Amino acid sequence: MGAREGGRRQRRPKKKVCAFCIEKAGAIDYKDINKLRKYVTDRGKILPRRISGNCAKHQRELTIAIKRARNIALLPFTTE
């Protein structure tokens, strides 16, 4: 009844929590490269909210910080 065919139950994925809300830190700093690198793929793309688990407010701030860091060459636009 609660099982699918084959006898396996479908597991509900754990809800991700925004790391910036937990820290209660101020603004996301574009100079903090180690923190920003966690939210960029190996190809240089910014991770979406559904993967990173950030809230909308902090995802917007994170995106702006990553773009600023790219513009002043702290982060690469792409990998080679």
| CATH number for the domain that contains residue 32 | 4.10.640.10
Residue 7 lies in a domain: no
Helices (H) and strands (E) in the chain, counts: 4, 0
Residue whose C-alpha is closest to residue 39's, from 20, 12, 26, 15: 20
Domain coverage including residue 53: 27-72
Q: Is the pLDDT of residue 80 over 80?
A: no
Q: What pLDDT is recorded for position 1? A: 55
In a domain, residue 22? The reply is: no
Is the pLDDT at 79 greater than 90? The verdict is no
Reading the block at residue 47, the tokens are 């991770």
DSSP lists the bridge partners of residue 40 as 46
Which class for 79: exposed (0-12), middle (13-18), buried (19 or more C-beta within 10 A)? exposed
Whether residue 55 lies inside any domain: the answer is yes
- Quick check: is 36 in a domain? yes
In a domain, 63, yes or no: yes
> Which pTM value belongs to this model?
0.78
Question: What is the number of domains present in the chain?
Answer: 1
72 has pLDDT over 60: yes
In-domain check, residue 15: no
